Amino acid sequence: MKNPAAPPIIELSQVTKVYGEGEGQVRALRGIDLKIDAGEFVSVMGPSGSGKSTCMNILGCLDTPTSGTYRFLGAPVGEMTADQRALLRRNYLGFVFQGFNLLSRTTALENVELPLVYRGLNAKERREKARRALAEVGLSGRETHVPSELSGGQQQRVAIARAIVSEPKVLFADEPTGNLDTATSNDIMALLTSLNEERGITIVMVTHEPDIAAWTRRIVRFRDGLIESDTINKPQRASEGIE
């Protein structure tokens, strides 16, 4: 149950982002307000150039606003140094991408261990945590497989295991089903739903597919650098569980 005294995990206040100068200036964000509480599963939608990717880059501490404020668990991200933002990313955030972004000559287990290397964990701890993460996404027995030996859905599961192995507060998913067929997409969405509901991981997901957004409890739509709508959704459920 949400603590009413707890701050939103994510809070944007009048955030703008401007690229370039003069006639070439682009106002990617035009003063947006957005709050996301711990434990939410939010999809972000909008046409190309709507500002959704810029917003996600700011939320993921990959970019900074031109003006306005971004607070993460109440802490003002805009006042942090680049090193402090990098620590925030490392310790609190996980990322899943459309293209999986796995190291091609590295086993599934070693791919999942990678974030723990940067945290300074010893080899035994890394291996144990990586094995648990792979088991959680349904890939026990695939630890020694390299990406080319795995299906697209299995590769995305490895990527999700890598994102959750460091126990992030927020998981950012950028078109996580974009390279997958419908059945595999539903498996991945069922997995993300279970991580949200059972582990309480806050998930913010960019998608252009309405049937994928339908899995989430909230849909935020961007247009022309503004939030066009922010609606509560009754998420769909898969007829069968994940394998």
Query: Comparing C-alpha atoms, which of 111, 101, 112, 65 is closest to residue 85?
Result: 65
Mean pLDDT within 214-239: 90
Whole-number pLDDT of residue 2 = 54
Q: Which two tokens stand for residue 93?
A: 């955030």
Looking at every residue in the chain, the average pLDDT score rounds to 92
Identify which of 3-7, 115-119, 158-162, 231-235 has the greatest average pLDDT. Answer: 158-162
Task: Classify residue 239: in a domain, yes or no.
Answer: no
User: Is residue 237 one of the residues assigned to a domain?
Assistant: no
Report the Cα 57 to chain-centroid distance in Å.
11
Give pTM, 2 decimals. Answer: 0.92
User: Is there a domain that residue 81 lies in?
Assistant: yes
**Residue found under tokens 């067929």:** 181
**Contact call for residues 203 and 192 (beta carbons, < 8 A):** yes
Q: Domain with 162 in it: what CATH number?
A: 3.40.50.300
Residue 2 located in a structural domain: no
How far from chain centre, in Å, is Cα 76? 20
Domain membership of residue 241 (yes or no) is no
Residue 238 lies in a domain: no
Q: What pLDDT score does 24 carry?
A: 87
Contact 38, 205 (CB under 8 A): no
Residue 4 lies in a domain: no
Residue 238: pLDDT over 80: no
pLDDT tens across 206-216, in order? 999 999 999 99
- Taking alpha carbons only, the member of 60, 29, 45 closest to residue 202 is 60
Encode pLDDT of 72-91 as tens digits.
Answer: 999 999 999 999 999 999 99
Rounded Cα–Cα distance for residues 211 and 214 (Å)? 5
Task: Name the phi and psi angles at 130, rounded to 5.
Answer: -65, -40
Read off the pLDDT band of 242 (50, 70, 90).
very low
Q: Can you give the residue range of the structural domain that contains 204?
A: 10-232
> Residue 225 burial by CB count (10 A; 0-12/13-18/19+): exposed, middle or buried?
buried
Q: How many domains does the chain have?
A: 1
Chain segment 1-17, per-residue pLDDT in tens: 456 667 899 999 999 99
On whether residue 155 sits in a domain, the answer given is yes
Specify the amino acid at residue 21. Answer: E
